């Protein structure tokens, strides 16, 4: 029971993160654009990571659909403690079909974004994730899930695409 409550809370937080956290359209003062998963403030580099033996690999493309930036200190722009909540549509990387959605929240820390959320794959279940994204880290920890992903752990690689979308490659163990 506690695991389900935690997963639900993690999912709600990730959903919040993805919905608006890192995806604020513009600073209230008209400043720079920040996107989901720290796009615009953090440079994500592609990774050459390979799947661990026996891992299920799932590759999806996520596209922001809603977002909200919360200026916690009222400074008029992004600063430590502010956060984004956001939601995205999730597409199969090969067929480009809509296969789910995600919700997340990212909080600005001193040198990173602290993010958590849930990615829902229709008819399969939820994947709960947490991370600290920075200039040197674009990996998400898979902390659990529901449905087909109930007992999964693992990680995902986050990669910004030129289109403005984000590619997530999951290695589920």
Q: How confident is the model at residue 129 (pLDDT cuts 50, 70, 90)?
A: very high
Cα dihedral 4, 86, 80, 128 sign: positive
The predicted model gives 136-164 an average pLDDT of 93
Percent of the chain scoring above 70 in pLDDT = 72
Could you please state the CATH topology (level 3) that the domain comprising 2-172 is classified under: AOC barrel-like (2.40.480)
pTM: 0.75
Residue 169: per-residue pLDDT: 95
Q: In whole numbers, what is the pLDDT of the chain averaged over residues?
A: 79
Going from N- to C-terminal start, the domains of the chain cover 2-172
| 3-class DSSP assignment, residue 29 | coil
| 3-class DSSP assignment, residue 135 | coil
pLDDT for residue 52 is more than 60: yes
The predicted model gives 14-23 an average pLDDT of 35
Percent of the chain scoring above 90 in pLDDT = 59
Q: How confident is the model at residue 41 (pLDDT cuts 50, 70, 90)?
A: low
CB distance 138 to 157 below 8 Å? yes
Residue 77: per-residue pLDDT: 85
pLDDT digits (tens, 9 = 90+) for 23-40: 333 333 344 455 677 665
CB distance 123 to 100 below 8 Å? no
């Amino acid at each position: 029971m506690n695991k389900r409550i935690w997963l639900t809370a993690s999912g709600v937080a990730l959903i919040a993160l993805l919905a608006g956290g890192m995806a604020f359209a513009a600073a209230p003062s008209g400043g720079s654009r920040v996107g989901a998963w720290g796009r615009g403030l953090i440079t994500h580099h592609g990774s050459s990571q390979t799947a661990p033996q026996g891992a299920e690999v799932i590759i999806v493309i996520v596209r922001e659909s809603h977002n909200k930036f919360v200026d916690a200190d009222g400074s008029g722009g992004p600063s430590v403690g502010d956060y984004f909540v956001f939601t995205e549509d999730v597409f199969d990387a090969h067929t480009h079909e809509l296969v789910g959605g995600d919700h997340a929240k990212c909080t600005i820390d001193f040198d990173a974004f602290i993010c958590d959320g849930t990615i829902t794959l229709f008819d399969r279940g939820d994947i709960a994730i947490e991370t600290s994204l920075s200039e040197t880290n674009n990996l998400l920890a898979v902390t659990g899930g529901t449905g087909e992903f109930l007992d999964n752990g693992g990680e995902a690689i986050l990669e910004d695409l030129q289109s403005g979308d984000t590619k997530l490659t999951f290695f589920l163990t």
